[in-house]
Chain A
């Protein structure tokens, strides 16, 4: 007869291993806490250190600063000048501008694509759409940045004839390409999870197929679509390589899409390598990192809660 294959281990050994597994489960939470602590830690001197405060206090990041006595005060981000100024406003406007342009492209294409794929597409065509979107999301952001820098920028400049090759429009468009898969996937999920009974009821009341999708499915899946937009916006705010390569990186205040922009993430990426360890500039960059972290954290939390609610509502409705 075969011997017992499972030798009973000592209880203590199992206990330790199981506790170790439990510990691992908290890795994600621990990492998030560590990220916040260690990024915020490097930003603290802005609030406490007198010397750093002299150069870059929170107040100085928000109100206008003059280059020298008697000059007109301006909002400017010029950390490397003799009299460094760290106004966050140009970066804030730049970040928002690039992200909004990205959303202008990504929302119609992503949501529209999701509606077609979930409501109208034949099974065969769906098998083309979904891998295509997966491929798009599989393109590394540095490759999208490269494409925007080398190809799109020239193409758009020839098409519209604007002055700066690299600008908010160019970066926003490329950023949109990175956002489309997020918007599409989450919207598609929400639209496909609307229970069949709801559609049948609408159909039975005499609605034709597109009326079913626009008066029944779309309203039911609306929270999911909203969540996809929120999460897509979060991605657009945080994305680094695309804006770093395609936006021109000029920290100016302007609302025109044809001007260069500099975003929060690109500022960190391009300046951290050259900054003196522990200087005010270094602390300010970590402060920007803290802002980015806090902002995307809230956005993700919000988007997540909406999705969980929607899932519960739809599953509750089915049972």
Chain B
């Protein structure tokens, strides 16, 4: 019976590798060249870090971190920018984490990974991650401010002065949430993949419904992964400038944002403004370096925290 189904074995001629490449050397040249590439990249990284640290470390003090800019940004601190950045990423996290987690749960618990629909969604997520950040900025302006904000104005206020249809921290946060959505989804999915099937089976066998299993078993188990994703999203959000340029960030504001439709100052945008729009670059240079160092320390600390949580979770899994 089976004899007919046996295919004749195909033997392809292997290329004679030894004759093609005579082992004149032990490969020192390719090895050396690729090592040089690695060393150059590490050297550039070190130069950047040392330069910024050296230029910025002297200016950083409690005063610098806690006072507003003065004299057209030539003296004073960066407190409003730090406050604005923190407010931005908090609002962004509130918006992005629930959507991202639910998407990951759907992809992992509700559909099979090979179905056409899952593939389509996955392609969508990957594509979203590759859209240039400036395009998100355009979208925020056209959709959130021009469509939703102005729409809210005409329904709620019908006045001439825009209340919501103008750049505001809420629109900037939502734009940033769209940008960071793939980060949260991918990170949460990785956490879901690590949850042992036995746990889920046990929960279902005890009579819990699928939703109850998700709420009581899956989400608590996935918390570290969700946390990692949120931190990476915050990290990304704190560093991007292009999406908030037209949707809410301001050159300079004498007050802190209090309402959702206020504008705000932000670290990255502050750096851009000081570096390119300042009338006297030399005078703002120390403050500029200080601001860059603060932003860099902030993003690196967030990154390290995410890496730490991830590695702890991974080692715990190995321990089991």
Contact = CB atoms under 8 A, between A and B. Distances in A.
Contacts of A52: none
Interface string B45-63: 1001101100000000000
**Does more than half of chain B's interface fall in helix, strand or loop, or is it mixed?**
helix
A208 interface: yes
A146 B271 contact: yes
Instruction: Name the prevailing secondary structure of the A interface residues.
Output: helix
Interface stretch (A65-73, A77-85, A130-138, A251-259): A130-138
Contacts of A29: 120-121, 124
Interface in B104-163: 105-107, 110, 120-121, 123-139, 141-143, 146-147
A26 interface: yes
Contact of B275 (A109, A110, A120, A150): A150
Contact of B132 (A115, A209, A237, A301): A237
Interface stretch (B64-72, B233-241, B255-263): B233-241
Contacts of A237: 132
A79 to B, nearest CB: 16
B319 interface: no
B138 A289 contact: yes
Interface stretch (A55-63, A86-94, A156-164, A266-274): A266-274
Given A22-B110, A32-B124, A139-B48, A209 B207 contact: no
A34 B135 CA distance: 12
Interface in B250-308: 268-269, 271-272, 275-276, 285, 288, 292, 295-296, 299-300, 303, 307
A300 B130 CA distance: 6
A304 B120 contact: no
A184 B20 CA distance: 29
Contact of A113 (B18, B27, B37): B37
Nearest to B266: A142
A177 B49 CA distance: 13
Given A21-B105, A112-B36, A245 B276 contact: yes
How many B residues are at the interface, by size bracket? Answer: 35 or more
B5 interface: no
Contact of B127 (A115, A213, A297): A297
Contacts of A17: 211
Contacts of B182: 28
A178 to B, nearest CB: 11
A31 B181 contact: yes
B41 interface: yes
Contacts of B107: 25
A234 interface: yes
Interface in A1-49: 5-6, 8-9, 14, 17-18, 20-22, 24-29, 31-32, 34-35, 38-39, 41-42
Given A202-B17, A238-B135, A272-B246, A129 B42 contact: yes
Contact of B178 (A31, A120, A139): A31
Contact of B239 (A133, A142, A215, A303): A142
Interface in B183-221: 185, 206-212, 216
B31 interface: yes
Contacts of B49: 135
A28 B110 contact: no
A24 B104 CA distance: 9
A167 to B, nearest CB: 16
Contacts of A245: 272, 275-276
A38 B147 contact: yes
Contacts of B13: none
B275 A149 contact: yes
B271 A142 contact: yes
A273 B245 contact: yes
Contact of A269 (B33, B121, B128, B242): B242
13 contacts: A5-B216, A8-B209, A26-B121, A34-B143, A136-B41, A138-B300, A145-B275, A150-B285, A207-B21, A265-B242, A272-B137, A273-B246, A304-B126
Q: 7 smallest A-B Cβ distances: which pairs?
A: A210-B27, A238-B132, A140-B239, A112-B37, A116-B34, A25-B106, A300-B130
